[in-house]
Chains A and B, each alone.
Chain A
Amino acid sequence: DAKTTQPTSMDCAEGRAANLPCNHSTISGNEYVYWYRQIHSQGPQYIIHGLKNNETNEMASLIITEDRKSSTLILPHATLRDTAVYYCIVRVHSGNTPLVFGKGTRLSVIA
């Protein structure tokens, strides 16, 4: 599975959009981009995933560049409860190995 690179930490003002970048320059054609987040002292929570088209759900939007070498997770109106570590994971959708989590980005939403 392709490796990902994320900033270690980011801050965002409450009510503003939080844009979390992820680089996956070695991604292959059949690999999806997944995002999870982990709020302190809880288990990770699935957010969204996509292949090449932009995706949106009730939690967030996922923007994938045309060359698929990077993506951005957007939380449109960040709240204090969005403070968490956000993990970007790239892997084949029907792979035979479970998800591998990296270090992620620690997002702090500030009042």
Chain B
Amino acid sequence: ETGVTQTPRHLVMGMTNKKSLKCEQHLGHNAMYWYKQSAKKPLELMFVYNFKEQTENNSVPSRFSPECPNSSHLFLHLHTLQPEDSALYLCASSQSPQGRNEKLFFGSGTQLSVL
């Protein structure tokens, strides 16, 4: 248990569906992140939020839409995804903004399959 909870653990969706991934951290951290991990590839940073403000969008397609209503919650809204978007989506948090403290705490991830 790392203090970062992601739901759901597994998700199967069609290309026309709309779904959301949820992340919640109970650590009092100020920064939250979305990473994507495709099969046999390194983790790819998608988005960074510091104090609820998005500070980095790593050229992510608009079919992925993040939302950070407060410092403890982070969502990733999904719509009209493609099969190649199937991957493990990982949420992380850290105490300090802009990654100054590199002790990241990760959730267990959501394994997404797009059919």
Chain A residues within 8 Å of B, Cβ to Cβ: 32, 34, 36, 41-46, 49, 89, 91, 93-104
Question: CB-nearest residue of chain A relative to B4?
Answer: A43
What are 7 A-B pairs at a CB distance below 8 A? Answer: A43-B109, A44-B43, A44-B90, A44-B92, A44-B104, A45-B106, A93-B102
Q: Would you give the 0/1 interface string for B69-89, flagging 1 where the beta carbon is closer than 8 Å to chain A?
A: 000000000000000000010
Q: How far is the CA of A97 from the CA of B50 in the complex (A)?
A: 12
Q: Which of B2, B4, B90, B102 contacts A99 (CB 8 A)?
A: B102
A41 touches B111 (CB 8 A): yes
A residues less than 8 Å from B91 (CB atoms): 43
Residues in B neighbouring A43, C-beta threshold 8 A: 2, 4, 90-92, 106-109
Q: Which residues of B contact A101 (CB under 8 A)?
A: 42-43
> Which 3 pairs of residues, A with B, have the shortest CB-CB distance?
A43-B106, A98-B99, A101-B43
Instruction: Say how far B110's CB is from chain A's closest CB, in angstroms.
Output: 11
Contacts of B19 in A (CB 8 A): none
Q: Name A95's contact: one of B4, B45, B56, B99 (CB within 8 Å).
A: B99
Type the 1/0 row for B88-104, where 1 means its CB is closer than 8 Å to any CB of A: 10111000001110111
Residue of B nearest to A32 (CB): B102
User: Could you say which residues of chain A place their CB within 8 Å of the CB of B92?
Assistant: 43-44
For residue A32, which residues in chain B have a CB less than 8 angstroms away from its CB? 102
Chain A residues lying within 8 Å of B33, measured Cβ to Cβ, are: 98
The reply to whether B109 and A41 contact each other, CB–CB distance below 8 Å, is yes
Are A100 and B45 touching (Cβ within 8 A)?
Answer: yes
Give the interface centre of A42, A89, A103 by most chain B CB atoms within 10 Å.
A42
Partner of B42 from A93, A95, A103 at Cβ < 8 Å:
A103
